Amino acid sequence: MELAGKRIVLGVTGGIAAYKAAELVRLLTGEGATVQVVMSEAAARFVTPVTFQALSGRPVFTDQWDPRVANNMAHIDLSRAADLLLIAPASADFLAKLANGLADDLLTTLVLARDCPLLVAPAMNRQMWENPATARNIATLRTDGVAIVGPGSGDQACGESGPGRMLEAEEILACTVAHFQPKLLAGKRVLLTAGPTFEAIDPVRGITNLSTGKMGYAISRAAQEAGARVTLISGPVCLPCPVGVSRVSVSSALQMHAAVLGQIAENDVFIAVAAVADYRPARFVGQKIKKRLQAAPPTIELVANPDILGEVAALPRPPLCVGFAAESENLAEYAESKRRSKKIPLIVGNLIEDGFAGDRNTLVLFDDDGQHPLPPAPKIDLARQLVARIADLLEKTR
């Protein structure tokens, strides 16, 4: 339950994306939030308040003069109780009103009278989003401290394709959860590697491992939630890129090595979570190896891959380097010896008991202060604890 105890006012304005807001209510309440829906009059033409009432379990407000509010101050009462005001979808018209402080219906009045942070998820046709007036309004809102999430890019209801479409409900949920995380890495830049590498033998075969990338992706999400600018160099995995993280997809260890060294300058932290293949085939066979053309089973000669973490740690002015040690036995001994040999301040020991694939994990942090076991927990919780430790170490080395 990522939003337990949080009170969220969800404002829905007029746009076809209003249907996605219904799903959003379900996701927010599923994470334990109390959701109070307020709709503009136009929004109620796209989806009826009854839908939102059923999903949120609370009466929906649309009218400033709603007789259900005894003191006739719905705009004050509703926002006073909230931890967050979230507007999804936010139409171009609504953003224009917001940027100019207009208050001509319940939702705009409530936003103007707010006493809590405001997150908006714009949704509109591509031309409306690219119109200089909208760009001006967005710039004003950012200056005013309003958090803007999205919009995404892609096919639109109007038949066009381009920027302007509202983020998916799951992405807005992730932004909402992120909003409530402490900004321990504000202003920092973090580079990570994650997933396995794939070392090609021929066009259809290769050497890889069972890393799913889940831990690395969870850490990139936790670092982004903590306010860092995050770049994720990812081996081949089947995971969506966390919202706000910029991902570079690679396949082999050599590609990962080149991508990391190309991006490492200006980063404050480097976290090597990837399960990089230590060796690759010495030669890539350009055509598929044919069984019937072999006199005997072929042998594959291997050569060593570069040690990405080791090289980054040896740079003249290295970022704070964090390594991972996945071990099936002697965790403390092996992890500590890796930490010393790679000359890094922090290594995360991961005792592999039941493979890489689960959503939970058992980790032990090893640094100059000794061992810090993290109790078994979902990967995202462990990732947040690791980020907190990294923030502490950054503070100490300043």
Asked if 190 is part of the footprint of ligand CTP (rule: CB under 6 A), the reply reads no
Q: Which of 41, 115, 278, 369 binds ligand CTP (CB under 6 A)?
A: 278
Closest distance between ligand CTP and the C-beta of residue 152, in Å? 31
- If the CB atoms of residues 141 and 348 are measured against ligand CTP, the closer one turns out to be 348
Measure the CA–CA gap between 321 and 347, rounded to whole angstroms: 9
Give Cα 255 distance to the centre of its chain: 23
Contacts (Cβ under 8 Å, ≥6 apart) of 322: 269, 270, 271, 272, 344, 345, 346, 347, 348, 386, 390
Q: Which of 253, 351, 383, 391 binds ligand CTP (CB under 6 A)?
A: 253
Closest distance between ligand CTP and the C-beta of residue 34, in Å? 41
Q: Which of 198, 195, 214 is nearest to 206 (CA)?
A: 198
| Contact set for ligand CTP, span 47-66 (CB under 6 A) | none
CA distances from 118 to 32, 115, 177 (A): 19, 9, 13
- If the CB atoms of residues 55 and 309 are measured against ligand CTP, the closer one turns out to be 309
Asked if 43 is part of the footprint of ligand CTP (rule: CB under 6 A), the reply reads no
Give Cα 126 distance to the centre of its chain: 24
| Contact set for ligand CTP, span 332-391 (CB under 6 A) | 338
Measure the CA–CA gap between 178 and 224, rounded to whole angstroms: 8
Token couple for 64:
């400033």
State the pairing for strand pair 84-90/118-122: parallel
Measure the CA–CA gap between 157 and 151, rounded to whole angstroms: 14
362-389 in b/e form (b: 16+ CB < 10 A) is bbbbbbeeeeeebeebebbbbbbbbbeb
Where is 95: in which H helix or E strand? helix 92-100
Name the catalytic one among 158, 175, 238, 321. 158
Q: Compute how many residues bind ligand CTP; rule: CB under 6 A.
A: 15
Closest distance between ligand CTP and the C-beta of residue 271, in Å? 8
Beta bridge partners of 269: 190, 320
Candidates 101-109, 130-138, 244-252, 302-310; binding stretch for ligand CTP (CB under 6 A): 302-310
- If the CB atoms of residues 28 and 245 are measured against ligand CTP, the closer one turns out to be 245
Asked if 331 is part of the footprint of ligand CTP (rule: CB under 6 A), the reply reads no
CB neighbourhood size of 240 (10 A): 12
- If the CB atoms of residues 243 and 363 are measured against ligand CTP, the closer one turns out to be 363
Measure the CA–CA gap between 179 and 198, rounded to whole angstroms: 36
Candidates 131-139, 149-157, 230-238, 323-331; binding stretch for ligand CTP (CB under 6 A): 323-331
Q: Is 158 a catalytic residue?
A: yes
- If the CB atoms of residues 244 and 323 are measured against ligand CTP, the closer one turns out to be 323
Asked if 9 is part of the footprint of ligand CTP (rule: CB under 6 A), the reply reads no
Asked if 324 is part of the footprint of ligand CTP (rule: CB under 6 A), the reply reads yes
Beta bridge partners of 37: 10
- If the CB atoms of residues 78 and 325 are measured against ligand CTP, the closer one turns out to be 325
Asked if 308 is part of the footprint of ligand CTP (rule: CB under 6 A), the reply reads yes
Give Cα 7 distance to the centre of its chain: 22
Question: x/- site string to ligand CTP, residues 87 to 126, per CB under 6 A?
Answer: ----------------------------------------
Candidates 120-128, 152-160, 272-280, 295-303; binding stretch for ligand CTP (CB under 6 A): 272-280
Q: Which of 309, 346, 386, 391 binds ligand CTP (CB under 6 A)?
A: 309
Residue ranges in contact with ligand CTP by CB under 6 A = 193, 253, 272, 274, 276, 278, 305, 307-309, 323-326, 338
Active-site residue set: 158
